Amino acid sequence: MSVRALVMLDDHILVQRLNHPDSVRWFPGGELEFGEPMEAGLLREIAEESTLAVTAITYRFVFDNRFERDGASFHFLEHYFEVTPAGWE
Please give the C-alpha separations between residue 7 and each of 10, 13, 15, 42, 78, in angstroms, as whole numbers.
10, 6, 8, 12, 16
Res 21: pLDDT: 66
Asked whether residue 88 carries a pLDDT value surpassing 80, the answer given is no
Asked whether residue 89 carries a pLDDT value surpassing 80, the answer given is no
Secondary structure (H, E, C), 37-65: CHHHHHHHHHHHHCCCCEEEEEEEEEEEE
pLDDT digits (tens, 9 = 90+) for 11-26: 888 888 777 666 677 8
- Amino acid 67 reads F
Which domains does the chain possess? 2-85 (3.90.79.10)
- Amino acid 75 reads H
pLDDT digits (tens, 9 = 90+) for 25-79: 788 999 999 999 999 999 999 999 888 889 899 999 999 999 998 999 999 899 9
In sequence order, what are the residues at sequence separation of 6 or more whose Cβ sits closer than 8 angstroms to the Cβ of residue 79?
1, 2, 3, 4, 38, 59, 61, 62
Model pTM?
0.83
